[in-house]
Amino acid sequence: MARWFEGPLASFDTETTGVDVEHDRIVSGALVLQDSDGAEPRFLRWLVDPGVPVPEAATAVHGLTDAHLREHGGAPGPAVESMARALAREAEPSTPLVVMNAPFDLTLLDRELKRHRGIGLFGYMERTALCVLDPRVLDKYADRYRKGRRTLGDLCAHYGVPLTDAHDAAADALASLRLVRAIGHRYAEQSLGRMTPAELHVRQALWHAAQARGLEAWFARNGSAERCDPAWPLRPELPAAA
């Protein structure tokens, strides 16, 4: 029987107007599907006219301008609903969903759905529950004391995974999928490689919370009051007063 890192995987990524999950918008998204390790990947892509100006700083990252999105992007409501339905259709316990830094992309999608459709991401998951694999969380658990950053580019370099056309949603999703497979292969004989995807999903919520507490303590020791949200893979919605 194929182990989780050898079998079918899906991978989701977005490009956005910024890094605030409560207020920024999705401008592109991609879902990559791969039936087995080494199989030809299949791609679903979305380009979105967010209906708000795209800051120059965001365009500098992903290259998507207001003019391009107005001409080629779809309306945000149908686009984000299509993303959610694709995740509900393709990502399930038998096909884990890879999301690098899941609390960012999944929370932003959730907020976009509530903004444009009045229902959050889990409202589209009535018949299945997401089973998420987050390479950032997995790597931090497996190699806790390694120094250095753990961005997608850094992790791909560390595990020898090619990353071409970074900050393109489809390219980043494919790299994240390959990265999770590489992590699985490297730690195949350890607990990480022997767990089921469902077990990993539950464990990652615990690992991420511990990692957030550790990072927050590090900030405090260095004189910063920065907070780190322990929620994974989706952040709870802020109270209206916030």
2-20 pLDDT tens trace? 799 999 999 999 999 999 9
Residue 230 counted as domain residue: no
Question: What's the average model confidence in pLDDT over 160-180?
Answer: 96
Res 129: pLDDT? 79
CB 112 within 8 A of CB 81: no
With respect to residue 227, please indicate whether it lies within any of the assigned structural domains. Answer: no
Mapped onto helix, strand or coil, the DSSP state of residue 39 is coil
Inform me whether the pLDDT recorded for 60 exceeds 60: yes
Residue 101: inside a domain, yes or no?
yes
Residue 137 in contact with residue 208, Cβ under 8 Å?
A: yes
Per the domain annotation, does 233 fall within a domain?
no
Q: Would you say residue 241 lies in a domain? A: no
Residue 1 belongs to a domain = no
What pLDDT is stored for residue 242 in this prediction?
A: 43
SS3 of 121, please?
helix
CATH code at position 107 = 3.30.420.10
242 lies in a domain? no
Give residue-wise pLDDT tens across range 178-237. 999 999 999 999 999 999 999 999 999 999 999 999 989 988 899 988 889 999 999 998
Q: Give Dmax (Cα) for the chain.
A: 51
Task: Tell me the pairing of strands 97-98 and 132-133.
Answer: parallel
> Phi and psi (nearest 5°) for 235?
-80, 140
Long-range CB contact pairs, 138-141, < 8 A, 24+: 138/180, 138/183, 138/192, 138/200, 138/204, 139/183, 140/207, 140/211, 141/192, 141/203, 141/204, 141/207, 141/211
pLDDT value, residue 31? 98
Count of structural domains, the chain: 1
Nearest to 125 by CA among 76, 77, 92, 78: 92
The tens digit of pLDDT for each residue in 111-153 reads 999 999 999 999 998 777 789 999 999 999 999 999 999 999 9
| 72-99 pLDDT, tens digit each | 999 999 999 999 999 999 877 679 999 9
Structural domain including 169 reads 9-221
* pLDDT, position 238: 67
- d(Cα 65, Cα 70) in Å, to the nearest integer? 9
Q: How far apart are CA 29 and CA 130, in angstroms?
A: 18
Residue 141 lies in a domain: yes
Question: Going along the chain, which residue ranges are E strands?
Answer: 9-16, 26-34, 42-47, 97-98, 132-133
